[in-house]
Amino acid sequence: MLRQVAEGVLIHESEFVQSNAVVVRGHASVLLIDAGVQGHEMVCLAGDLSDSGQSVVAGFSTHPHWDHLLWHAMLGSAPRYGTARCAATVRERLSDEGAKARVTALMPPDIVEQVPLDLLGLIAGLPAGTAQIPWDGPLVRIIEHDAHAPGHAALLIEEHGVLVAGDMLSDVLIPMLDLNDTADPIENHLAALRLLEDVADDVDVVIPGHGSVGRGDEVRVRIGQDRAYVHALRDAQAPGDPRVGPSATYGRDWLPGVHERQLQHLARRSEPDR
């Protein structure tokens, strides 16, 4: 069910990793950001929009990971966008016959049958350097960076003071660095946090890709927490982060493993060539 989190901005939370689909109301239609994960959830979302007399005029994927590239026919055939680099990455990763099988292998087995893949990744890249999403609603500013994934975008809905952060600034997930597509994942992540910090004074509500909505000063708290975690990774220190500590209430069976793999990967990168 849709839940309003700010004027003109609503979310629909998935059962999968607390994923947030974001709806931004325009004049007579909506912008849908990261549409959802399971088919029945997207059908529910489409029904909620229909009941309110609105349809989707544009979609946007914040980054090129499978759970942010999904769509359902019930949501309509509106154009779906991403940054130029995001769309190029999607084309490259989904260009061969085995692509959907690889995506399926990334999913928890218990939801595989519930995830519709027929419209996976059908996004158009906006011209490089595009500053805002082309649609007839409130101005949605694109803040592009390369933390977490190539061509990742955070979106600032300036009129309503809302930051849609994509897979950044989560209260339940640690920062997950892009360890495969970049030469300096630490600096990429820190640079992205600086970009988000630059707009923090204009943000009243932050919506992460996964986790709960943050309000007021929490955007700066989350930026600081993510920065401290990345610094700990860089310095090969224990993070002291409650999201992977003994008091963690989410992902206790798998998030510590993610942290350990990131630590080991960065350690191997720093070893001198043999």
Strand order in the sheet with 152-157: 140-145, 152-157, 162-166, 205-208, 214-215
Average pLDDT over residues 88-101: 94
The share of the chain scoring above pLDDT 90, in percent, equals: 89
- Please report which confidence band the pLDDT of residue 272 belongs to, taking 50, 70 and 90 as the band edges: low
Measured CA to CA, the distance from residue 132 to residue 179 in angstroms comes to 28
Cβ-based neighbour number of residue 242 at 10 Å: 13
Round the average pLDDT of the chain to a whole number and report it: 94
271 pLDDT tier (thresholds 50, 70, 90):
low
Element (H, E) at 208: strand 205-208
Contact yes or no for 69/120 (Cβ under 8 A)? yes
**Dihedral, 81, 82, 83, 84 alpha carbons, nearest 10:** -70
pLDDT 10s digits, 23-40: 999 988 999 999 999 999
Domain of 188, CATH number, reads 3.60.15.10
Domain containing 206: what range? 3-270
Q: Which of 84-88, 114-118, 245-249 has the weakest average pLDDT? A: 245-249
Number of domains in the chain: 1
On whether the CB atoms of residues 50 and 63 are closer than 8 A, the answer is no
Please tell me the distance from the alpha carbon of residue 59 to that of residue 183, in angstroms, as a whole number: 31
Structure tokens at 82: 């991403």
